[in-house]
Copies of this chain bind each other. A is one copy, B any other.
């Protein structure tokens, strides 16, 4: 009975988060493998999350990008408080600055190291925002 409970709990948890020790996490395994990348790759205590893109209006792009980053962090049992470094690439810096209130909803009061630059284009022609993260599994 107790064993069954533990097993059920383990199953439930595994459905929620992948093993925090997994090295590789894919959202779209086939597509990512075709381009030789993973949504996230772990080395030791650090989790490297690939540049995640968004399009449409900047409000839509910011929401899409940080939603996806949040889901990726969740897979390792993490949230935005575990982010150590953010790299942000956009085709429209002013629009991104105006959308900071949306981004702030994800970070709350957390303040990672960050670098923001405006570039010519991203992987897809219609993407306007790409954000990569380094997070730490355990705060140390």
Contacts and interface: CB of A to CB of B under 8 A. Distances in A.
A38 B113 contact: yes
Contacts of A111: 24, 26, 32-33, 36-38, 41
B41 A44 contact: no
Contacts of A115: 50-51, 87, 89, 130, 132
A41 B117 CA distance: 19
Nearest to A137: B43
A49 interface: yes
A118 B117 contact: no
Nearest to A103: B36
B114 A36 contact: yes
A37 B84 contact: no
A122 to B, nearest CB: 6
Interface in A34-81: 35-41, 43-46, 48-51
Contacts of A139: 23, 43
A120 interface: yes
A118 B36 CA distance: 18
Contact of A48 (B100, B119, B134): B134
Given A36-B112, A97-B123, A118-B119, 15 more contacts: A36-B100, A37-B86, A37-B112, A38-B114, A40-B113, A43-B45, A43-B84, A43-B134, A44-B136, A48-B85, A51-B114, A113-B132, A117-B119, A117-B123, A118-B122
